[in-house]
């Protein structure tokens, strides 16, 4: 039997939101007792046996209609509280799952939003955090950035995230771990490219916004041509998006690899030859047509590049561009890259590749951080 009458659900939800708000600023030792009470009430309300539950589910959906925004607030608040105390982490995780199930229960009468942008439109005051979204008759949890990014208002859905500053974070499958001087980064295990794909969850989008941080290892040479010769002809084998056209990071979308952004690792800040950044003063290397102006390039070394991980100068952050490299930091948006396709939408997955035309024992551009959003 249900231990609470359904008409009291709104009042119950209000109490939860009030408790969440008050406990955010109060000392956490009282949180466990509060959480246990809510967990027990929720269990009694929804999960104990009830005759003819199918019939009663319609009443639940009707009664909870005005409580969706409160439940969204619960999910967000609990998500942001997860890391505040190891002693309450388990309780918070269980409460978060319960709140998510309540939202899923409501899905039939009032569908869950399919994107962070739709959520922002429905609830303009929503804060950045984790939310339950719907896709193809299923639900999933995604991080929503409700602030302005890349010159566009909130409602960005995050597809990709890595932060190797977190000691508990591992490199994506297939990537090689670099460690030096407290820096952890993920690069290539072999020659060529290593790749990771980020599904779109069938989300339709027309904008991509993101940033990547990495480091130079060894003698990277950006997009320096690599020629093969046949009789009187020479051919640049690094002119195809499906190849290791860059020493650095390639970001594309879809199975045909439509170019989104390229992040190059040049040889040295003071260099002007073809293996330096194309944005370096005095460098005349041609940028491939499919890249255009959609790239960032930086170097971690100054002068002769040795086989080491240059941890003192993070790449693609728009900082510490000296000498001939100065123009490379004076580009719009850096460290954020942005592609706006106007009215053209897609559900393509995003692919991130770390590439190089030589062995990683000689050169690499491992990444330590990335976040990619769509809307």
pLDDT of the residue at 272: 85
Q: How far apart are the first and last CA of the chain?
A: 44
Choose one of 55, 89, 112: the last residue of a domain: 112
User: Are 212 and 369 in contact, with CB atoms under 8 Å apart?
Assistant: yes
What residues make up the domain containing 92?
6-112
**Mean pLDDT per 10-residue section of the chain, whose length is 375 residues:** 40 52 46 48 44 48 51 58 51 56 56 90 93 86 96 96 96 97 96 97 97 97 79 73 96 98 94 89 92 97 91 96 94 97 97 96 98 98
Choose one of 84, 112, 140: the last residue of a domain: 112
User: Are 77 and 21 in contact, with CB atoms under 8 Å apart?
Assistant: yes
3-state secondary structure of 25: helix
pTM of the predicted model as reported, rounded to 2 decimal places: 0.74
Let me know if 22 is exposed, middle or buried by CB neighbors in 10 A (0-12, 13-18, 19+): exposed
DSSP labels, 135-193? ETTEEEEEEEE-S-BTTB-S-EEEEEEEETTSTT--PPTTPEEEEETTEEEEE-SSSEE
**Is 133 within a domain?**
no
**Is 361 within a domain?**
yes
Residue 157 pairs in a beta bridge with: 144, 374
Same-domain pairing of 164 and 302: yes
Same-domain pairing of 193 and 331: yes
- Dihedral sign, Cα of residue 256, residue 260, residue 265, residue 266: positive
Choose one of 82, 112, 142: the last residue of a domain: 112
pLDDT of the residue at 182: 92
Same-domain pairing of 183 and 298: yes
DSSP labels, 325-339? GHHHHSSTTTT-EEE
How long, in residues, is the chain?
A: 375
pLDDT of the residue at 9: 45
User: Are 216 and 365 in contact, with CB atoms under 8 Å apart?
Assistant: yes
pLDDT of the residue at 104: 58
């Amino acid at each position: 039997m249900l231990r609470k009458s359904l008409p009291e659900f709104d009042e119950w939800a209000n109490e939860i939101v009030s408790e969440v708000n008050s406990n955010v600023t109060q000392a956490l030792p009282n949180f466990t007792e509060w959480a246990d009470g809510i967990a027990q009430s929720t269990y009694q309300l929804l999960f104990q046996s009830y005759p003819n539950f199918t019939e009663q589910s319609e009443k639940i959906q009707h009664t909870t209609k005005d409580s969706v925004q409160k439940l969204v607030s619960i999910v967000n608040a609990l998500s942001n509280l997860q890391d505040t105390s190891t002693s309450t982490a388990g309780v918070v995780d269980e409460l978060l799952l319960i709140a998510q199930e309540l939202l899923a229960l409501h899905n039939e009468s009032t569908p869950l939003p399919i994107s962070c942008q739709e959520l922002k439109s429905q609830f303009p005051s929503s804060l950045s955090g984790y939310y339950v979204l719907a896709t193809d008759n299923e639900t999933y949890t995604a991080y929503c950035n409700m602030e302005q990014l890349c010159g566009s208002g909130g409602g960005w859905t995050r597809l990709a995230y890595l932060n190797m500053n977190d000691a508990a974070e591992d490199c994506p499958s297939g990537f090689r771990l670099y460690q030096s001087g407290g820096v952890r980064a993920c690069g290539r295990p072999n020659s060529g490219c290593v790749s990771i794909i980020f599904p779109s969850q069938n989300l339709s989008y027309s904008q991509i916004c993101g940033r990547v941080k990495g480091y130079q290892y060894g003698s990277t040479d950006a997009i320096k041509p690599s020629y093969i010769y046949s009789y009187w002809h020479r051919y640049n084998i690094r002119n195809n998006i499906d190849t290791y056209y860059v020493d650095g990071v390639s970001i594309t979308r879809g199975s045909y690899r439509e170019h989104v952004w390229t992040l190059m690792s040049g040889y040295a800040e003071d260099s002007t030859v073809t293996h330096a950044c194309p944005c370096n003063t005095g460098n005349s290397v041609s940028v491939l047509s499919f890249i255009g102006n959609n790239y960032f390039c930086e170097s971690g070394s100054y002068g002769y590049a040795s086989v080491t991980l240059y941890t003192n100068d993070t790449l693609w952050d728009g900082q510490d561009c000296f000498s001939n490299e100065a123009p490379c930091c004076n580009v719009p948006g850096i460290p954020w890259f942005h592609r706006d396709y106007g009215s053209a939408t897609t559900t393509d997955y995003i692919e991130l590749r770390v590439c190089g035309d030589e062995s990683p024992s000689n050169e690499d551009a491992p990444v330590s951080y990335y976040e990619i959003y769509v809307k």
